[in-house]
Amino acid sequence: MITLPKLEDLSDPTFNAFEMERMSTGRCPDPYPRIHELMQQGSVVEGVYRNQFTDVPDVQHGGLPQMMVLGYDAVLHVLTHPEIFTNREAFLPSLGVSFGESVSVMDAPDHTRYRRIFQKAFLPQVVSKWGETVVDPVVHRLMDAFIGTGKADLIEQFTHHYPFQVIYAQLELEPEQGPIFHKLAIAQLLSSIGAPQGREASIKLGNFFAELLAQRRARPGTDLVSHLATVESDGERLPDIVLISFLRQLMNAGGDTTFRGTSALLTGLLTKTDQLKAVQEDRTLIAQAIDEALRWEGPVTSTLRYASQDTEIDGVTIPKGTFINLVLASANRDPRKFENPDKFDIFRDRKHRSLAFASGPHLCIGQHLARVEMTRAMNALLDNLPNLRLDPDMPPPQMIGHILRSPEHMHVRFDG
């Protein structure tokens, strides 16, 4: 019998890593009025996106030249011109310090080479198999805790857990290791501000993943780590340093975004009961409901790029060395592309794709898995919670955050 590697907790197990997460998320209830104002100023606006909503200093990029790029066409232009707007310089001080040599911190040709290998493990036909074997058991185990009670907080009891537990299941973590894993995943973000707990968390996660990879290579299964440990493209495998960095990033890139995306989907449908009813009756609408939720309230409102040469957008000069605050949320609420952009409407014209998963070579590698997870979760909730509705005696869900957004609570009732 194989003994699975054990995760080691921080040397100070009482250290509260989650406080950092709350600080980075912010308390802004609605950044969109300000985003619309900025968009009206033009495609390129001097300044820093986060400073529009918070006084918390940016220790990674504070003091460096920054500009915001806004609106669908301008954001798409930046995303699809990686030879000008690069990732490496943009993310080296943040993701590079926290996770290491992840694909998010690479540009071509390294990115092109490794991305193609990673993507093989995340192609639709691969991740669809995990829906039944991995996602469904997690979803049903969580729902079993409240299914007979007639009411629940779907954030506290469901969405805030299931994507992370899907990752635990993929890693075959023992249940008591889950909270330690989650804490280390959050704590490693502190590396970028020089906190010793950040470095400690990165090392401990790295040791754990190195051991796990060796085990899965020796006896591969059908799980994600086995796929990544053995996947090849043109005879080349992923180096351990790149793989371990990717796995370090998994909780943040794959868990947190899916939690927030599912929460946005439920918020949209539960507050628009006619659309919830339509989805209940025709489950093929779930796919477009997911697209609309991610357009309306994309989990990540802004990302970064670096101008590697002097360039311009819509006549505005962007000097080499500028950090670009790429406001994805402005693209997804651009009235030139989406009629009544602030409205959640699963039946809207879908002529323009949302940029919630970004675009270009760094398009979200896990988008197909996220869709599988959200589809399975939505079907399970609709199948097992009849007459699902907001609890009239409790406050409605309120999206919060200026960079990462989701509600903190979602009180619902359903028939027993």
Partner 1 sequence: MKQWMCMNCGWVYDQAVGDPIGDIPPGTSWDDVPDDWKCPDCGALKAEFEMEEI
Give the residues across from 325 on adjacent strands.
68, 304
Nearer to partner 1, 20 or 126 (CB): 126
Q: How far is the CB of 158 from partner 1 (least distance, A)?
A: 27
Q: Which stretch binds partner 1 (CB under 8 A): 46-54, 113-121, 173-181, 404-412?
A: 113-121
Output the smallest distance, CB 340 to partner 1, in A: 21
Count of residues interacting with partner 1 (CB under 8 A): 19
For 50, the token pair is 């986060």
Q: Which stretch binds partner 1 (CB under 8 A): 123-131, 241-249, 309-317, 401-409?
A: 123-131
The mark string for 69-108 relative to partner 1 (x by CB under 8 A, - otherwise) is: -----------x----------------------------
Which residues sit opposite 152 in a β-bridge?
412
* Distance (Å, whole) CA 306 – CA 304: 7
Applying CB under 8 A, among 122, 168, 208, 338 the residue interacting with partner 1 is 122
For 265-357, where are the E strands, in sequence order?
303-307, 311-313, 316-318, 323-326
Of 199 and 353, nearer to partner 1 (C-beta) is: 353
Give the one residue of 3, 14, 125, 284 binding partner 1; rule: CB under 8 A. 125
Nearest to 211 by CA among 247, 187, 238, 165: 247
Q: Which residues contact 282 (CB under 8 A, 6 or more apart)?
A: none
Please provide residue 233's backbone torsions phi and psi, each rounded to the nearest 5 degrees.
-140, 125
Nearer residue to partner 1 within complex by CB, 219 or 351: 351
Instruction: Name the minimum Å distance from CB 261 to partner 1.
Output: 17
Q: Where are the alpha helices (DSSP H) in 219-256?
A: 224-230, 240-250
CB of 111 to partner 1, least distance (A): 10
Contact 310, 320 (CB under 8 A): yes
Residue from 66, 69, 102, 115 in contact with partner 1 (CB under 8 A): 115
How far is it, in rounded angstroms, from Cα 245 to Cα 120?
17
Three-class secondary structure of residue 190 per DSSP: helix
Binding mask 43-72 for partner 1 (x = CB under 8 A): ------------------------------
Q: Which is nearer to partner 1, 303 or 406 (CB)?
A: 303
- Contact call for residue 123 and partner 1 (CB under 8 A): yes
Tell me how far apart the terminal alpha carbons of the chain are, to the nearest angstrom: 43
Q: Which of 36, 120, 151, 272 binds partner 1 (CB under 8 A)?
A: 120
Examine residue 119 and tell whether it contacts partner 1 (CB under 8 A). Answer: yes
Contacts of 81 (CB under 8 A, 6+ apart): 360
CA 241 to chain centre: 22
Q: How far is the CB of 282 from partner 1 (least distance, A)?
A: 20
66 phi, psi to nearest 5 deg: -135, 145
Q: How far apart are CA 223 and CA 130, in angstroms?
A: 8
Taking CA atoms, 201 is separated from 194, 215, 242, 353, in Å, by: 12, 21, 17, 37
Q: Which is nearer to partner 1, 111 or 248 (CB)?
A: 111
The contact pattern for partner 1, residues 329-368, with x = CB under 8 A and - = no contact, is ----------------------x-x-----xxx-x-x-xx
Q: Tokens for 282?
A: 């025709």
At 162, list the tokens: 């299931």
Q: Work out how close the CB of 72 gets to partner 1 at its nearest, in angstroms, rounded to a whole number.
A: 12
Stretch that binds partner 1, among 109-117, 194-202, 322-330, 375-383 (CB under 8 A): 109-117
What does the binding site for partner 1 look like in residue numbers (CB under 8 A)?
80, 112, 115-116, 119-120, 122-125, 351, 353, 359-361, 363, 365, 367-368
